[in-house]
Amino acid sequence: MLLVTGGAGFIGREIVRLAVAEGRPVRVFDALRPDVHHSPPRAISGVEFVRGDLRDPAALDAALRGVDVVCHQAAKVGLGVELADAPDYASTNVLGTAELIAAMGRSGCGSLVLASSMVVYGEGAYRDAAGRRRRPAPRAVDDLEAGRFEPRDAETGAPLEPGLIDEDDRLDPRNNYALTKLAQEHLGAEWARSTGGSVATLRYHNVYGVGMPRDTPYAGVAAIFRSALAHGAAPRVFEDGGQRRDFVHVQDVARANLAAIGWLGAQTPSTVRAFNIGSGTVTTVGEIAAGLARAMHGPPPVVTGEYRLGDVRHITASSARAHDELDWSAVVDLESGLREFAGASTDEVV
């Protein structure tokens, strides 16, 4: 039996659909938070649904009966709006995951796929003019206010060239959400060491697609742009729009989760392995906004120069490890994925 926490959510629901199509017995555990679910989710035939909070040990014990693998998708997502969000991030993501691994320890379940995020890296990978790997310091407020958005070498002040980040790069979380995702990774590793279980940690890059939460400040940037266009407004692009990202379609992310479940079945006890899950296509935030505007026949983006202090400039993925070890690669190209996303009906983009 597969248990998908957050299985009524954007990514979780796609994982459930794919798992059911493969003939797997699936149980969904979801709190149906009102800041994510504006209406009750549609049932999926043959899937058991348990409404519960990750911070409730009794609910978890009941949900884990007969489960041999957990796909942990439940989390409060997004960069956050203000410091007052910090307790909710910590409670939902860190305490919730701690309760989950404790319950897994009680149940004897031995396999965990953990949804992590690119945010654990902080800034992406960079090289200096000599080709040496460099990690820039956090960007200064004075630079951001002046429109100087590109990171520079902390030692020389020289410009840096962004590249692809891999799983062995240094982890440097720079906001509340990122800190909680890294804490989840550490909790998963501690569970594996303590129980002999195995963990596949999937570091998602920018996931998009039909079903993204909308009309919430915690939504992904693609959903925010689409929502503005659906209301006839121009998408507002922060900084200068040149932020490099890797947008990966939700169907590909779901496939990665199923591939990770298969991989876990062949691992030795206490295996912990992280995988970047990205499309391999580098694009910019401005290009995403412009592409959606064209597809939806809306006004062109407005570049605002605004910034969020906890954001990073460039972060793009090398997913070579997932290709080599999980036998997984993204198959949905960005152009067709955005076209599908732009054309989704309002009730599909929940």
Q: What is the pLDDT of residue 347?
A: 43
228-255 residues labelled b (16+ CB within 10 A) or e (exposed): bbbeeebbebbbbbebbbbbbbbbbbbb
* Mean pLDDT computed over 71-89: 87
User: Residue 218's pLDDT is what?
Assistant: 54
CA distance 282 to 246: 5
What's the pLDDT tens digit per position in 238-247? 999 999 999 9
Please give the pLDDT value at position 206: 93
The 10s digit of each residue's pLDDT in 210-247 is 988 776 655 688 989 999 999 999 999 999 999 999 99
Q: Mark 327-340 as b/e (b = at least 16 C-beta within 10 Å).
A: ebebebebeebbeb
Catalytic site residue from 177, 204, 208, 307? 177
Of 281, 273, 224, give the one whose Cα is nearest residue 249.
281
Lowest mean pLDDT among 17-26, 32-41, 121-130, 156-165: 32-41
> How much is the pLDDT for 179?
95
Task: Give the pLDDT of residue 138.
Answer: 78
Mention every residue, 6+ apart, whose C-beta is less than 8 A from residue 159.
Answer: 129, 150, 152, 153
* Backbone CA torsion sign across 310, 223, 317, 320: positive
Averaged pLDDT, 20-44:
87
Task: Characterize the bridge pairing of strands 302-303 and 236-237.
Answer: parallel
**Is it the case that residue 350 has pLDDT exceeding 70?**
no
Does residue 348 carry a pLDDT above 60?
Answer: no
pLDDT in tens, 179-207: 999 999 999 999 999 999 999 999 999 99
pLDDT for 349: 36
Average of per-residue pLDDT values in the chain: 92
89 tagged catalytic: no
Give whole-number Cα distances, 92 to 6, 44, 54, 118, 144, in Å.
12, 25, 8, 19, 31
Cα–Cα distance for residue pair 38/34, rounded to 1 Å: 6
DSSP secondary structure of 298-322: -PPPEE-----TT--S--EE--HHH
CA gap 294, 339 in Å, rounded: 9
Is the pLDDT at 326 greater than 60? The verdict is yes
For the residues 98-111, what does the mean pLDDT come to?
A: 98
